[in-house]
Structure 1
């Protein structure tokens, strides 16, 4: 048996699932991201190709199907960095399939002729970060009904 363990950082996240239930727990993040010299963020984990996400809850580890996550909320002081706030800032209201509206800020860092909210939303990501006071909310593209900007 191999006793070596891969070091992971834990990050508290509150998930809202497609059935409306909430799951609170810790996700496991790599201390180093492949494309940067800093720890992995929740958004990078959600936008990876993995279909299931292990979440350490009070009742044990739960494997969440990423395709059924509407949103994930994590503390801004742990998740937010300067790179996430590059570009033009927009205040948006996003309405999800469950009828909830989330109001916050997005930063569009795209070429000058393509820096609208619609250009941002048409990027190939499963989850988009929305910055609200004290939290970063990742919203799944497939559960967005409309975006007001």
Structure 2
């Protein structure tokens, strides 16, 4: 699967990531978010698209990963209406990212701060260009809600 890995400071690499065809967590294949949020994997293998060399990426030091939305589908609970926030995320290195955060949490804990505090290390932001950016919380300075 094609992805773009973005490091602190903004440098990026286009890579191919190898995913399993099945996962015990749910029906369907493994997603990049599964790899990045797996606490047992510090390094993930990726094939650099430009140099065609194997690269082993240390997940904790990755600021963001961008993939086509089809590879990170937003799984919506058919019995609950999702909460959506249009946001701007500012990373500690100054990079900015705009998009939509969507989640379903119990009503008593459905604030954006509840989601951000309970979200896995990499949380998804849907962008208009049909892409999902998986943002590493360790590199986030702040998340600002935008008016629609």
User: Which range, TM-score by smaller chain?
Assistant: 0.7 to 0.9
- Give per-residue Cα distances to partners, 1:84-119, cap 9 Å, x unaligned: 996211111110112121111111211101111100
Q: Which residue of 2 aligns with 1:90?
A: 85
Q: Does 1:17 align with 2:12?
A: no
Task: Measure how far apart 1:79 and its partner are.
Answer: 2.2
Moved more, 64-73 or 91-100: 91-100
What secondary structure is seen at the aligned counterpart in 1 of 2:18? strand
Q: Does 1:61 align with 2:57?
A: no
* 1:16-35 correspondence to structure 2 within 5 Å: 16-35=6-25
Task: Give aligned pairs, total.
Answer: 139
Higher strand content, 1 or 2: 1
Q: What is the alpha-carbon distance in structure 2 between the residues aligned to residue 31 and residue 52 of structure 1?
A: 20
Moved more, 33-42 or 66-75: 33-42
Question: Which stretches in structure 2 are left out of the alignment for 5+ residues?
Answer: none
- Root-mean-square deviation (CA, aligned residues, Å) is 1.8
Moved more, 137-146 or 87-96: 87-96
Q: What is the alpha-carbon distance in structure 2 between the residues aligned to residue 35 and residue 20 of structure 1?
A: 32
What secondary structure is seen at the aligned counterpart in 2 of 1:77? helix
TM-score normalized by structure 1?
Answer: 0.86
